[in-house]
């Protein structure tokens, strides 16, 4: 269950580093520094990214990720990383988020099928 259409749209994005973590759509931004002399200097702004270990209740283990501050706030809003990954749009997750979403869904479906087979 890999949704390919949202991922192909993101592949050509200028900030490919956001595919390797949970950035929640945050990208590199461009602009100018403008001092009093009005001499513009080109510069970039990077997202506020941290290396985090987040515990997944479904996988029963810590997951080490690069996470933006925006994604951390949204994870806290949803309650945990599993709910965040399952309820967020695919274009905001990126490759790593979609990989984790598939792992969580597979684990949940396997856990749902075991009690039914035993009954």
Q: pLDDT (tens digit, 9 = 90+) per residue, 43-68?
A: 999 999 999 999 999 999 999 999 99
Dihedral angle sign, alpha carbons of residues 79, 81, 83, 88: positive
CA 85 – CA 52 distance, rounded (Å): 15
Rounded CA separation 57/108 (Å)? 11
Instruction: Give 93-105 pLDDT, tens digit per residue.
Output: 989 999 999 999 9
Quote the number of domains for the chain: 1
Residue 72 belongs to domain with CATH number? 2.30.170.40
pLDDT at residue number 41: 98
Looking at the domain assignment, is residue 46 inside a domain? Answer: yes
State which residues form the domain around 58.
4-109
The residue count for the chain: 119
pLDDT at residue 12, rounded to an integer: 55
Residues 103 and 107: their CA atoms lie apart, in Å, by 6
Task: Give the Cα separation of 93 and 80 in Å (integer).
Answer: 15
| Per-residue pLDDT at 16 | 82
Residue 116 lies in a domain: no
104, with CB counted inside 10 A (0-12, 13-18, 19+), is buried
Per-residue tokens: 16: 């490919």
Confidence of residue 114 (pLDDT cuts 50, 70, 90): confident
pTM, entire model = 0.80
């Amino acid at each position: 269950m890999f949704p390919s259409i949202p991922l192909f749209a993101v592949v050509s994005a200028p900030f490919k580093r956001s595919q390797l973590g949970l950035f929640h759509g945050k990208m590199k931004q461009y602009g100018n520094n403008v001092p009093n002399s009005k001499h513009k200097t080109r510069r970039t702004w990077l997202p506020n990214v941290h290396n985090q270990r987040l515990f997944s209740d479904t996988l029963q283990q810590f997951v080490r990720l690069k996470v933006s501050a925006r994604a951390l706030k949204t994870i806290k809003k949803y309650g945990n990383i599993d709910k965040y990954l399952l309820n967020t749009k695919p274009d905001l997750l990126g490759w790593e988020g979609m990989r984790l979403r598939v792992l969580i869904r597979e684990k949940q479906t396997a856990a749902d099928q075991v009690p039914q087979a035993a009954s």
